[in-house]
Amino acid sequence: MAQWNQLQQLDTRYLEQLHQLYSDSFPMELRQFLAPWIESQDWAYAASKESHATLVFHNLLGEIDQQYSRFLQESNVLYQHNLRRIKQFLQ
């Protein structure tokens, strides 16, 4: 999560560039919710091995499910809706 925290501290002009990097296919809120998990992955290895990339993708879906359950317990309807929408798009 250290990287995500650093990104949030960027100067305004760089934050605009950051906003442009994220889209509906991988929304910024998902990046924030899963920051520790995302930052702990070996993305270089996943990019070089299709089987590992598939495993990481399925783990990502599992992480989304865990976050969804957390928001369900917290009765956070907005985040539940957003995560359900994101997961449907990814699948």
* 13-25 pLDDT tens trace: 888 887 787 776 7
For residue 23, give the 3-state DSSP assignment. strand
Q: Distance between CA 4 and CA 48 in Å, rounded?
A: 24
Q: How many domains does the chain have?
A: 1
For residue range 59-88, list pLDDT tens digits in order. 999 999 999 999 999 999 999 999 999 999
CA distance 3 to 20: 17
Residue 34 CA to residue 48 CA, distance in Å, equals 22
Confidence tier at 1 by pLDDT (50, 70, 90): low
Structure tokens at 36: 């520790």
pLDDT of 27 above 80? yes
The residue segments making up the domain with residue 30 are 2-90
Provide the CATH number for the domain around residue 31.
1.10.532.10
Whole-number Å distance between alpha carbons of 22 and 79: 17
Inter-residue contact 67 to 34 (CB < 8 Å): yes
